[in-house]
Structure 1
């Protein structure tokens, strides 16, 4: 099993790497990546950057049991690009690894350093019978 701090550190490094890019454009290309674990970490970093840049209140990713994935950013309730089923599955695994949320439902804080600033995101996970959902709330 990978060290949790390394996964968290990798997300922070990716935030720094993608800080000057267009997060939505980069997110739209992730479902084509072959390395779903790396793509999941990129998606988390890009979601954080998009949320900060767009003054989002919350970004949620929902995956139904049939693999259908939807992502909604709450500022104008706008859909943002889906990472696809395989990457979404890896996103849920990565966030559980970082936050140590092991129950079907849980909340945690995720501290991210982005360039010369720091940010505390509120993470919420829910596993239900027909879907699972990850919400990232921004300060």
Structure 2
């Protein structure tokens, strides 16, 4: 796998590291309630917080989707489902652009592994982006925790 934009990949890893000791649910709720400033920065921040929340909860996957009416849903799926505060539309677009740039997906999306370096270790995620018309989804599968 060739990472197209290593700086953006590094930024995601650094953001995960930066928020490692954060209450992810509280921070995601703050983001959803706050003003829409710096959508690219907030896109990476939302991804980092949601990924770290998924790791903490030992989730199977993080699933985000936007329907054709523009509504966005986000949830962690595992032994239990945890509904996450939905990102703003501009943050969603930034997240899709971030994933597309890191993994070099085309307009329809794709599916590739993503190695995420976290402090003393690494985590292999499987990222799937699907886009069809006005609908899109982003799924990040975590490794098996068993």
Which residue of 123, 130, 135 corresponds with 1:131? Answer: 135
The equivalences for 1:89-128 within 5 A come to 89-128=93-132
Which residue of structure 2 lines up, in the alignment, with residue 4 of structure 1?
A: 5
Quote the offset at 1:102 in angstroms. Answer: 0.8
Deviations 1:37-57 (A, max 9, x none): 000001111121111100000
Q: Which residue is 2:26 aligned to? A: 25
Contact 2:65 2:136 in 1 (8 A): yes
Q: Which residue of 1 aligns with 2:63?
A: 60
User: Aligned runs of 1:40-51 on 2, under 5 Å?
Assistant: 40-51=43-54
> 1:27-77, CA deviations, whole angstroms, 9 ceiling, x for partnerless residues?
122232400100000111112111110000001110123321100210212
Contact 1:125/1:134 (CA < 8 Å) preserved in 2?
yes
Displacement of 1:78: 2.4
Name stretches of at least 5 consecutive residues in structure 2 with no aligned partner.
Answer: none
1:103 shift after superposition: 4.2
TM-score when scaled to structure 1? Answer: 0.92
| Aligned equivalent of 1:38 | 41
| Cα RMSD (Å) | 1.4
The answer as to 2:87 corresponding to 1:83 is: yes
Describe the SS at the equivalent of 1:56.
coil
The answer for unaligned runs of 5 or more in structure 1 is none
How many pairs were matched up?
137
SS where residue 29 of structure 1 aligns?
Answer: helix
- Per-residue deviation, 1:115: 1.5
